[in-house]
């Protein structure tokens, strides 16, 4: 699954503009994370068609980067996230972003961006949602 990141000057209506552009292009937003750091907005989107999203956003003047997201399914129980994040940390893998993609009371599906995706993919193999697709 692809994640796209936009870093732009924070301003009123920024998310409205981005979501309008994507909606007009018929690109659905599956997950969204927005943070403001030092007057910059960091918008991370998970979309089904990252290439189309990137193209329409860049055509509108935004700078966009893409990254492969590792998608895992965990039991929806206390401590499960801690197990995998501790394992990643012990192997020197930095987590750059985590998004909850779905949660149904039984399972939680997370999208995880890391600095060493190949190594993380191997470590998280038992949790991978789609084991047949490489995530790096």
Residue-level pLDDT at 136? 39
> Residue for token digits 């995998």?
84
* CA gap 109, 104 in Å, rounded: 9
* Cβ-based neighbours of 23, under 8 Å, separated by 6 or more: none
Mean pLDDT score, 67-85 = 93
> Residue for token digits 């996230």?
81
Q: How many C-beta atoms surround the C-beta of residue 24 within 10 A?
A: 10
Question: Would you say residue 117 has pLDDT above 80?
Answer: yes
Residue-level pLDDT at 83? 96
CATH class of 70-127: alpha beta
* CA gap 68, 130 in Å, rounded: 13
Mean pLDDT score, 38-43 = 90
pLDDT digits (tens, 9 = 90+) for 55-66: 999 999 999 988
Residue-level pLDDT at 90? 97
End-to-end CA distance of the chain: 10
- The structural domains of the chain, with segments of one domain joined by +, span 2-68, 70-127
* CA gap 23, 122 in Å, rounded: 35
Please determine whether the domains at 2-68 and 70-127 fall in the same fold group of CATH: no
Residue-level pLDDT at 101? 82
Please provide the CATH number assigned to the domain covering 2-68: 3.30.2130.10
Question: Would you say residue 135 has pLDDT above 80?
Answer: no
Question: Would you say residue 119 has pLDDT above 50?
Answer: yes
* CA gap 4, 22 in Å, rounded: 12
Residue-level pLDDT at 18? 98
Mean pLDDT score, 30-41 = 89
Q: How many C-beta atoms surround the C-beta of residue 48 within 10 A?
A: 12
Residue-level pLDDT at 94? 96
Residue-level pLDDT at 21? 98
pLDDT digits (tens, 9 = 90+) for 91-103: 999 999 888 888 8
Continuous segment of H or E residues that includes residue 16: helix 14-24
């Amino acid at each position: 699954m692809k994640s796209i990141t936009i870093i732009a000057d924070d301003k009123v209506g920024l998310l409205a503009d981005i979501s309008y552009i994507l909606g007009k292009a018929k690109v659905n937003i599956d997950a969204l994370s927005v943070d403001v750091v030092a007057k910059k907005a960091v918008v991370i989107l998970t979309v089904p068609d990252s290439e189309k999203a990137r193209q329409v956003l860049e055509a509108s003047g935004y700078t966009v980067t893409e990254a492969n997201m590792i998608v895992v399914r965990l039991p929806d129980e206390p401590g499960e996230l801690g197990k995998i994040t501790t394992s990643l940390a012990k192997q020197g893998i930095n987590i750059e972003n985590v998004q909850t993609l779905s949660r149904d009371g039984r399972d939680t599906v997370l999208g995880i961006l890391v600095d060493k995706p190949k190594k993380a993919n191997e470590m998280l193999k038992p949790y991978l949602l789609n084991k047949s697709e490489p995530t790096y």
